[in-house]
Chains A and B, each alone.
Chain A
Amino acid sequence: MMNTRVVITGLGAVASIGIGKDAFWDGLRSGTPGISPLCAFDTSKHFTHNGGEVKQFAAGKFIDEEKLHTMNRATHLAVASARLAVADAQFTTEQLSNFIVGVSHGTTLGAAQAIEGVDDALVHTTVVSADLFRQMPPHTAPAEIAREFKCTGPHFMVSTACAAGNYAIAHAYDLIRFKRADIMLAGASDGISRIEYTGFNQFSAVAPERCQPFDKNRRGMIPAEGAGMLVLESLENAVRRNAPIYAELLGYGLSCDAHHMTNAAVDGITACIRNALRDAAISADDVDYISAHGTGTRANDRAECAAIRDVFGDRYRSIPVSSIKSMLGHTMGAASALEAITCALVVKNDILPPTINFETPDPECDVDCVPNQARHHVVKIALNNSYAFGGNNASIVIGKFLQ
Chain B
Amino acid sequence: MRNVVITGIGVLSPIGIGKEPFWDALAAGRTGFRPVTLFDTSSFRTNIAGEITDFDPLALLGKKGLRDLDRSTRLLCSAAKLAIEDGKLEITGEKTHTTGVAVGATYGSLHSISQFDRTAIIEGPRAVNPSHFPNTVLNSPASQVSIRFNIKGFNTTVSTGFCASLDAAAYAADFIRLNRADAVLAGGVEELCEETFMYFHALGYLSGADSSTASCCPFDARRKGTILSEAAAVLVLEDEQTAAQRNAAVLARFRGYANAFDPSAKENFHGTGAGLKRAVLLALEDASLAPEDIDYICACSNGSPELDRTETAVIKSVFGSHAYATPVSSIKSMVGEAYSASGALALSAAVGALHRNLIPPTMNFQLQDPECDLDCVPNKAKQHRVQNVLITAVDPYGQSSAAVLGK
User: Complex Cα distance A155/B394, Å?
Assistant: 12
- On whether A256 and B395 interact (CB within 8 A), knowing A158-B159, A202-B133, A391-B147, the answer reads no
Partner pick for B143 among A180, A197, A201, A391, CB 8 A cutoff: A391
B381 within 8 A of A: no
Q: Which single residue of chain A is at the shortest CB-CB distance from B102?
A: A158
Q: Is the CB of B143 within 8 A of A157?
A: no
A118 within 8 A of B: yes
| Interface size band for B | 35 or more
User: Complex Cα distance A120/B97, Å?
Assistant: 43
In the complex, which residues of chain B have a beta carbon less than 8 angstroms from the beta carbon of A257? Answer: 146, 152
Q: Is the CB of B152 within 8 A of A256?
A: yes
Q: Is the CB of A136 within 8 A of B154?
A: no
Q: Is the CB of A391 within 8 A of B155?
A: yes
Q: Is the CB of B259 within 8 A of A155?
A: yes
- On whether A147 and B398 interact (CB within 8 A), knowing A138-B138, A161-B137, A194-B120, the answer reads yes
Q: Is the CB of A195 within 8 A of B117?
A: yes
**A-B pairs, 8 with minimum CB distance:** A390-B143, A199-B133, A254-B154, A159-B138, A256-B155, A261-B134, A143-B397, A202-B130
B406 within 8 A of A: no
Q: Is the CB of B203 within 8 A of A157?
A: no
User: Complex Cα distance A257/B142, Å?
Assistant: 12
Q: Is the CB of B146 within 8 A of A115?
A: no
Q: Which residues of A contact B (CB under 8 A)?
A: 1-2, 45-47, 102-103, 107-110, 112, 115-116, 118-120, 122-123, 128, 130, 133-134, 136-140, 143, 146-147, 150-161, 167, 171, 174, 178, 180, 194-195, 197-203, 254-262, 268, 271, 279, 388-392
Partner pick for B156 among A1, A110, A167, CB 8 A cutoff: A167
Within 8 A of A (CB), among B90-141: 96-97, 100-101, 105-108, 110, 113-114, 116-118, 120-122, 124-126, 128-130, 133-134, 136-140
22 contacts between A and B (CB under 8 A): A109-B138, A115-B113, A115-B117, A119-B117, A122-B118, A123-B118, A128-B198, A133-B199, A139-B161, A143-B261, A147-B263, A155-B160, A159-B137, A159-B158, A174-B174, A195-B120, A198-B117, A199-B128, A202-B130, A256-B151, A261-B147, A390-B142
In the complex, which residues of chain A have a beta carbon less than 8 angstroms from the beta carbon of B121? Answer: 119-120, 123
Q: Is the CB of B398 within 8 A of A155?
A: yes
Q: Is the CB of B260 within 8 A of A108?
A: no
Q: Is the CB of B106 within 8 A of A139?
A: yes
User: Complex Cα distance A107/B137, Å?
Assistant: 10
In the complex, which residues of chain A have a beta carbon less than 8 angstroms from the beta carbon of B261? Answer: 102-103, 143, 146, 151-155
Q: Is the CB of A194 within 8 A of B133?
A: no
Contact with A along B156-196 (1 / 0, CB 8 A): 11111100000100010010001010000000000000010
CB distance from A157 to the nearest CB of B (A): 5
Q: Which single residue of chain A is at the shortest CB-CB distance from B118?
A: A119
B202 within 8 A of A: yes
Partner pick for A138 among B136, B159, B174, B258, CB 8 A cutoff: B159
Other than A152-B262, A154-B260, A195-B120, give 7 A-B pairs with Cβ distance below 8 A: A108-B138, A146-B398, A154-B259, A174-B174, A202-B126, A255-B153, A392-B156
In the complex, which residues of chain A have a beta carbon less than 8 angstroms from the beta carbon of B157? Answer: 158-160, 392
User: Complex Cα distance A364/B261, Å?
Assistant: 48
Q: Is the CB of A161 within 8 A of B147?
A: no
Q: Of residues B101, B107, B274, which shows the largest number of chain A Cβ atoms within 10 Å of its Cβ?
A: B107
CB distance from A365 to the nearest CB of B (A): 25
CB distance from A153 to the nearest CB of B (A): 7
Q: Which single residue of chain A is at the shortest CB-CB distance from B177?
A: A178
User: Complex Cα distance A42/B263, Å?
Assistant: 37
Q: Is the CB of A271 within 8 A of B138?
A: no
CB distance from A185 to the nearest CB of B (A): 11
In the complex, which residues of chain A have a beta carbon less than 8 angstroms from the beta carbon of B120? Answer: 194-195, 198
User: Complex Cα distance A260/B202, Å?
Assistant: 37
CB distance from B89 to the nearest CB of A (A): 15
- On whether A180 and B156 interact (CB within 8 A), knowing A137-B106, A195-B116, A256-B151, the answer reads no
In the complex, which residues of chain B have a beta carbon less than 8 angstroms from the beta carbon of A1? Answer: 1
Q: Is the CB of B174 within 8 A of A178?
A: yes
Partner pick for B110 among A115, A157, A279, A392, CB 8 A cutoff: A115
B275 within 8 A of A: yes
Q: Is the CB of B397 within 8 A of A139?
A: yes
Partner pick for A161 among B117, B139, B146, CB 8 A cutoff: B139
Q: Of residues A150, A159, A255, A257, which shows the largest number of chain B Cβ atoms within 10 Å of its Cβ?
A: A159
B379 within 8 A of A: no
Q: Of residues A108, A174, A197, A261, which shows the largest number of chain B Cβ atoms within 10 Å of its Cβ?
A: A261
Q: Which single residue of chain B is at the shortest CB-CB distance from A198?
A: B125
Partner pick for A133 among B1, B139, B202, CB 8 A cutoff: B202
User: Complex Cα distance A46/B105, Å?
Assistant: 30
CB distance from B155 to the nearest CB of A (A): 4
In the complex, which residues of chain A have a beta carbon less than 8 angstroms from the beta carbon of B267? Answer: 134
User: Complex Cα distance A203/B174, Å?
Assistant: 37
Q: Is the CB of B143 within 8 A of A155?
A: no
